[in-house]
Structure 1
Amino acid sequence: MLIHGAWHGSWCWQKVIPLLEKKGHAVIAPDLPGHGSSDNPDSISLETYTRSVVDLIREQIESVILVGHSMSGIVISQAAEHVPGKIRRLVYLSAYLLQDGQTMFEVAKKDNEGLVFSNLEVSRNRKTARVKEAVLREAFYNDCSEEDFYFAMNKLVPQPLAPISTPIHITKERWGRVPRSYIECSMDQTITNSTQQEMHTNITCESVSRLESGHSPFLSVPEKLAEILGSEAD
């Protein structure tokens, strides 16, 4: 199950899904609530995100590998706390791998070289935010083609702020028993490589892979990403 990050939707996986299916894997890539064509983002919480993933797993899936990109590191961590017995592995793709009690926002704002959280435009009601258009390319798509950049830019939606400012709650007994892997993106300007490495050093992962890519390897290097994800599933 491929879970997209902030501002994005399931559309971001469109190059990767057929590559994984060709390798024989069944793939689900849902839209989180408030993303894609679903729900008003003003009402979304971390629990809303988590419940949508957990309900899908309980209803349709016996055993799953959860892949979380960027923000959705916190979503897959919380999902594993709810249904650890149904999750074979957690894969953090340049994602926020947080300790119990941390918020994504507190970790992100310490990343002084990251371009996103210093370039937010917050809505008047302070419930959502967008990234300033001037930095979108460098922040998210610095190694993507012009075609992919404009395709993605036109699909971005306002990001609910509640999920990224809510502390996660995980335990060694539940989340901690699920095997973990981390995939670094070495040219990432959203979650810089030093922050990625700090997170997976603080929380040990069974395996760490590395892509020479920016923040959106599903667009820039889909074949290489699919190869790593396929190996995690084997």
Structure 2
Amino acid sequence: MSQHFVLIHGAWHGGWCWDGVIRELENAGHTAVAPTLPGNNPDDDLASVTFADYLDAIAAVLEQQQEPVILVGHSSAGFLLQAVAPRAAKKIAHLVFHNAFILPNGASQLDMFLPEVAQILIDAAMTVATPHGSIASPHKNVPILEDLIRNALMKDDSTEVQNALLSRLVPQPFVLFNTKVNTNDFLALNIPRTVLFCKDDRSLPPGTFLKMAQSLGTYELIECPGGHETLFIAPKIIADALTKITINPTFHAIG
């Protein structure tokens, strides 16, 4: 049975990170779209982006779909799905959280990091490097943190592959990280949900992603090999996993 997917990227990325996954899904007879969120196009004005802009952009894409879709969020997009789903529930047949940050009500993504990692992001957002040293940042954007990408998100990947991803990343508006999110409305939704988890992800301490997923209630768990950036490095693994999702409103496996 053919399915239609809407794929949402995480911080520093763009819709391009799903290109390989889309090709593999199409080869398997499915369709998919992957928008780039406000602030993540290379020429966007990052200073003007708000958290509401992300939700508006995703909701607009969903409203354009003819039938309910499988909505997939990777990494930081997990809590964007939580926040936007109540606005567009009729357009969502299934929710997929792929190695995603899933927030309790009133929390921000910063709250889910180890304190030292959160401080790195805060410091990066508050200053900007100049030829004469660092100065206060007027826009509070987080630059591409190369050490974090290489040593956490892509710790087990080759330098060549790391370089390929780093060449595509863009600075990220800080509002994605520090906005407190209302997820209470999400809990009331009766939309089936799946957690797609790449088991070799080292971007957070072991068990953190699945611990966050407990707040989803009941869900289908699909595990596969790979790390945080498998969607970019080995897209067939992710596409194959997505095609295994149980599309059945009455089915939930206990996570």
TM-score (norm 1): 0.88
Is the aligned partner of 1:212 residue 2:225?
yes
Q: 1:69 aligns with which of 47, 68, 74?
A: 74
The SS at the match of 2:195 is strand
The within-5 A match list for 1:143-154 is 143-154=156-167
Q: Structure 2 matches for 1:50-61, cutoff 5 A?
A: 50-61=55-66
Q: Provide structure 2 residue ranges, at least 5 long, that are not aligned to the other structure.
A: 1-5, 128-136, 248-255
CA contact (8 A) 2:144 2:170 kept: no
Moved more, 211-220 or 25-34: 211-220
Partner in structure 1 of residue 192 of structure 2: 179
| Paired residue type of 2:232 | L
Matched, 1:200 2:213: yes
1:129 counterpart (142, 154, 174)? 142
The AA in structure 2 aligned to 1:136 is I
1:17 to 2:30 alignment:
no
Q: Deviations over 1:127-166 (max 9, x none)?
A: 2112432332122223434433212101111111112211
| Long gaps (5+) in structure 1 | none
User: Residue 79 of structure 2 aligns to which amino acid in structure 1?
Assistant: I
Question: Alpha carbons of 1:210 and 1:173: their partners in 2 closer, same or farther (altered >3 Å)?
Answer: closer
Alignment partner of 1:184: what SS? strand
| Residue pair 1:95, 1:196 contacting (<8 A) in 2 also | yes
Shift of 1:224: 1.6
Is 1:167 aligned to 2:172, yes or no? no
Query: 1:204: Cα distance to partner?
Result: 2.1
Pair 1:203–1:131, CA change in 2 (3 A): same
Tell me if 1:232 matches 2:237.
no
Classify the secondary structure of the residue corresponding to 2:71: strand
Distance 1:178 1:150 in 2: 38
Is 2:112 aligned against 1:107? Answer: yes
1:20-99 map, 5 Å: 20-37=25-42, 39-99=44-104
CA distance in 2 between partners of 1:222 and 1:175 (Å): 33
The worse-fitting range, judged by mean Cα deviation, of 59-68 and 118-127 is 118-127
**What TM-score comes out, normalization by structure 2 length?**
0.81
Query: How far apart, in 2, do the equivalents of 1:40 and 1:22 lie?
Result: 36
Partner of 2:113: helix, strand, or coil?
helix
Q: What is the Cα deviation at residue 232 of structure 1? A: 1.8
